[in-house]
Structure 1
């Protein structure tokens, strides 16, 4: 079995998917497992590339910061290039791994796409074209491709004329959740009130503004808790001070996350249909809700809709608007809660990280 090097141009401390992959390799392989990332502090055996600021310029040249980061990564990886699997996370790291492979090493590349890389929210048309050309060129040097949903896998197969990529979902590790009242105790929420939870990044495109508008018009019996950090944090805090049934809680550690999740009654996964990456996504919070035992309310997007309807674990909004979501919240409260919980208990067996590692074992012949 070759050595394995997990490569990411992000901070592994904040990337649960990458950390779980590193843990998997460290436990199940007898060969050396390394990782290389930016500014990570909490991951054992990780080569840490220190970067003061991702957006700064070097020598006044726009974009040269990325070039300097690439050169630092290449210098470190050259020492590990022989008989090595590079587990490459996201398109931004792929040029580094392809360069190392093409200079005479017998390494292999597993390209792990955490989203639809060339169709993410906020990209201009010209950037989409340039990234698409880059990915089309580089993917010919890749030995295996991983995506996070079936729809994205089919798109990659169609676009690049490759075999359908493997699909590894962003699922948490399996647990048996224990119901608790953390949120009710923290915010003094009554037992008679129903607690809906949004957890995750507080960013545009996640439907957070629509959720706030929705709950601001609902009765006090329906409570929304927004938990996380991000660019919308300040405005959410302000809204929570003026709207009595909306509360804000900062993000919590991965170790305690599902304890907090399990203290809600329903989980909300509302992604706006603003780009193809969003349309075909299967966000980790959807599976966190399921693992914590919560029925879910989701956007009307194909992959989430398939999970919810095929396993009967909640309700899909008819349309991605405040009106559509208000109606979906009313519908989910009419469903038999005990039956939903039973369905969720069965779904947890499938949507857990332990199931996803079976695909990693197949890719790496473990």
Structure 2
């Protein structure tokens, strides 16, 4: 029996899906797990990651604009449907609303279970507008009821979906890193020649609009000598940050690093930053991965007052919530955080890291799959995986 995960990307850095696939592989509920994405020039159409897990990339990214994207999605969906319609599928995972029509078709054809694993509030994202937003809303409203279970990245987003669609089978699965001890590092201080007494605040992740990047640069440029800002990652504003760093004291740009090395670099900062601008409902309700990464690395955080992350920080006493998202509010938050008791912050971070790690989320994932597949009392060898008819990985 096969489990497929549908997501229209090349699967170069999809940490959440890779974590889920790894955990499901350990449970031995399926013979094979395929991460089905989109082909790109230079990438293998089939890539084996480990025993039982591989990436399958049919087709390539082509077309732009609404019509081009619709045509591209339709072409990719047809290719994937024909690839799997005769396979023995046990569960189809849709990781975006764009894959939901394909998931429903495969469920009807193969009698597989269907899991909708939304990575954000899919119909209220920052880049959706006009006809595309209308079509996305219609697709989700009409098809979400076909899902046997829905997974969401945070409680606020889950509550929205429950209210909007009257869902019952839902689970929150936070995108937490695995539990580990992170060793201290002086990497940023050495690379950027930051004075030993100057605290380092780190923003890591996607460097684009809506992530407070311009606000952070302006805020920390007025804190030169009192605090340093390191912006690490990739995105459309990365070059802008790099140019600003050339003439603004206290501002530094660091390229993105491999996901498996991320926490080692996070350890080189003193504090973490997660400033989300509420430019969409999805951003207002978000629960960023970076927040859990800072916690695992033992870094107190400064966050913007968006709904769930601010409530999380206050409840666990792991940092400071800015009064707003202006440069002045960020500066005020920085100074307030610097005045907090470091021992109390570290004790709170240790407790929170123990609770919010992937090992804990893995138990939640196991329970929902056993329930969805009808294997509520799964015990070791009492339930054996089914034999797959074909193996694309060989």
- TM-score category, normalised to shorter length: over 0.9
SS in 2 for 1:12: coil
| Residues 30-109 of structure 1: pairs in structure 2 closer than 5 A | 30-35=29-34, 36-39=36-39, 43-44=49-50, 45-55=53-63, 63-80=70-87, 82-103=88-109, 105-109=110-114
Ranges in structure 2 where 5+ consecutive residues have no aligned partner: 371-377, 379-394
- Count of matched residue pairs: 361
Between 1 and 2, higher relative CO (CA 8 Å, sep ≥ 6) is seen in: 2
Partners of 1:62 and 1:87 in 2: CA distance: 21
Whether the 8 Å contact between 2:232 and 2:255 is mirrored in structure 1 is yes
1:153 aligned residue: 158
Deviation of the 1:340 alpha carbon: 0.4
Partners of 2:144 and 2:154 in 1: CA distance: 18
Ranges in structure 1 where 5+ consecutive residues have no aligned partner: none
1:29 aligned residue: 28
Partners of 1:147 and 1:268 in 2: CA distance: 23
User: 1:117-137 CA deviation, whole Å, 9 max, x = no partner?
Assistant: 000002114433321111011
Deviation of the 1:268 alpha carbon: 0.2
Whether the 8 Å contact between 1:110 and 1:143 is mirrored in structure 2 is yes
TM-score (norm 2): 0.88
Closer/same/farther in 2, CA of residues 61 and 163 from structure 1, 3 Å limit: closer
Deviation of the 1:55 alpha carbon: 3.1
Partners of 1:364 and 1:256 in 2: CA distance: 30
User: 1:77-99 CA deviation, whole Å, 9 max, x = no partner?
Assistant: 2132x351112211111111101
SS in 1 for 2:302: strand
TM-score (norm 1): 0.94
Closer/same/farther in 2, CA of residues 350 and 195 from structure 1, 3 Å limit: same
| Residues 1-366 of structure 1: pairs in structure 2 closer than 5 A | 2-35=1-34, 36-39=36-39, 43-44=49-50, 45-55=53-63, 63-80=70-87, 82-103=88-109, 105-163=110-168, 165-365=170-370
